[in-house]
Amino acid sequence: MSDFQPPFSRRKRKPGLFQSPQALLIGGFAAIILAGAVVLWLPFCHHPGEVNFLEALFTSTSAVCVTGLTVVDTGTTYTLAGQVVVMLLIQAGGLGIMTFAALTFQLLGSKMSLTSRAALHDSFFQEDVGGKFKTLFRRILAVTLVIELTGAAVMSLVLVPRYGLFNGLFSSLFHAVSAFCNAGFSLYRTSLVALRGNALVVVPIMSLIVLGGLGYAVLLEVLQNGRTWLSKRVHPTFRLVSLHTRVVLVMTAFLIVFGALGLMVLGLTPGEHTTGSEIAAALFQSITARTAGFNTVSVGHLPDASLILLVVLMFIGGSPGSCAGGIKTTSFAVWLARFRSRVMGEEDVHIMGRRIPKDILRRTTVLISLSLLWNGLGIMLLMALEGHIPGVRLRDVVFEQISAFGTVGLSTGLTPSLTSLGRIWIIATMFVGRLGPLTMAMWMFRRKKVQVRYPAGRVMIG
């Protein structure tokens, strides 16, 4: 056949650096962060002279990336309008810019490209959603609103009598949105320390955090199976749900129990708890450490061993397609399964009777490696920038870096005293942590076909 091309024929071009699905996701988050920073910088959103643009940008990034780290106090620095903006930014970041983009396309009657559908599928769903976007996103929005409003209603039973009708209702809604989106923003200067003994506040917050960290795919599948079990009156069977859902539920339960037991053994803040309240505090901190950021204890006074355990939990984070950050529970499960297979001398990696494909193993290795490299660089950089501040120790820097990467929001007290360069680095870390280092790498480094294959070589390992 001839290689001649008609002069007006269209050639299929590969998407460029700024035309990929990853660029749509990154650009969407960056745009809403910048817009939020500009709005929060306006005079009506904060009290006179209390917020500069960098502080507004930090707050906007923390809200959209559902982190919760703050350089100024949200409840006293921002006006009611500013607090509403922060809540809306949290909601937008929790649902995800891609979710809103797809929903907007549906409302306008437009069709998404196949690459955008693929990116959304990788971020939120386990199956090919095809033309079911409209139905799925209606379900996502409905589930989100029902869960958040239910949590707000329960908390209002305590907060309305304490703060009045309007302030109590707004505080209940703000904290419900913040908890479900795993943001950790609070209107109270000491987060939830003053409310730690009130079950009608603490239990809804914990429940919202767990539900928000499971991921929409898991929530929708559990609801669908639950409705089927109830309608057909069949006995629920764990193996009827997908492998992804099983892994997420098992790993979530394991990490919550492991973290709570570890904190009880290693210790919480001394002298602040009785035996019963210590169990409740350990359970709460175990849940919130995996990307929520609320606290009922003084984090800065925790023993070093407990802080190390929290760092591990923050690094793992929540589950894919959720409001949480970190390397994700499924990645940690795959890493554990791969480690086990190598120790046992097995060729295949399997979880719950299913073999894990090699492409998932490769992506998991790259994700964890990039995460470790980014945080290692961040710890060194922050020590160089903040090490001169009196009272700042290595543990404070490590905790701050991992908290920002895991989009957690817990801090030992370093955040408000960060230098301008330190704040810029934390902003970048929150952004990378929310989108995922693998997404950033796939966008920045385009895959190229390599025609050269190098000869095999062997090295000794320990």
From the CB of residue 93, how many other CB atoms can be counted at a distance below 10 Å?
27
State the first-to-last Cα distance of the chain, in angstroms, to the nearest integer: 56
28 or 3, higher pLDDT: 28
Res. 445 pLDDT band, cuts 50 70 90: low
pLDDT tens figures, 384-403 = 999 888 888 899 999 999 99
180 or 128, higher pLDDT: 180
pTM reported for the whole predicted model: 0.84
Tokens at residue 191, please? 């987060």
Burial class for 54, CB neighbours closer than 10 Å (0-12, 13-18, 19+): middle
Query: Which pLDDT value is given to residue 153?
Result: 96
DSSP letters, 408-458, are: ----SS-GGG--HHHHHHHHHHHHHHHH-HHHHHHHHS--------PPP--
Quick one: which of 320, 322, 306 has its CA closest to 410? 306
Least confident of 126-130, 248-252, 264-268: 126-130
Query: Which pLDDT value is given to residue 114?
Result: 54
Query: Which pLDDT value is given to residue 235?
Result: 57
Please say if the pLDDT value at position 362 is more than 60.
Answer: yes
Please say if the pLDDT value at position 251 is more than 90.
Answer: yes
Query: Which pLDDT value is given to residue 404?
Result: 92
DSSP 413: S
Q: Taking the alpha carbons of 169, 186, 62, 183 in that order, is the dihedral positive or negative?
A: negative
Please report which residue ranges of 188-328 form alpha helices under DSSP H: 199-214, 216-232, 243-266, 275-288, 304-316
Please say if the pLDDT value at position 142 is more than 80.
Answer: yes
Res. 103 pLDDT band, cuts 50 70 90: low
Please say if the pLDDT value at position 297 is more than 80.
Answer: yes
Query: Which pLDDT value is given to residue 389?
Result: 83
Quick one: which of 308, 364, 371 has its CA closest to 336? 364
pLDDT tens figures, 277-286 = 788 889 999 9
Mean pLDDT of 4-33: 61
Res. 97 pLDDT band, cuts 50 70 90: low
Whole-angstrom distance, CA of residue 173 vs CA of residue 152: 5
Query: Which pLDDT value is given to residue 152?
Result: 95
What angle, rounded to 10 degrees, do the helices at 133-163 and 165-180 form? 140
Whole-angstrom distance, CA of residue 345 vs CA of residue 332: 20
Domain ranges of the chain: 21-443
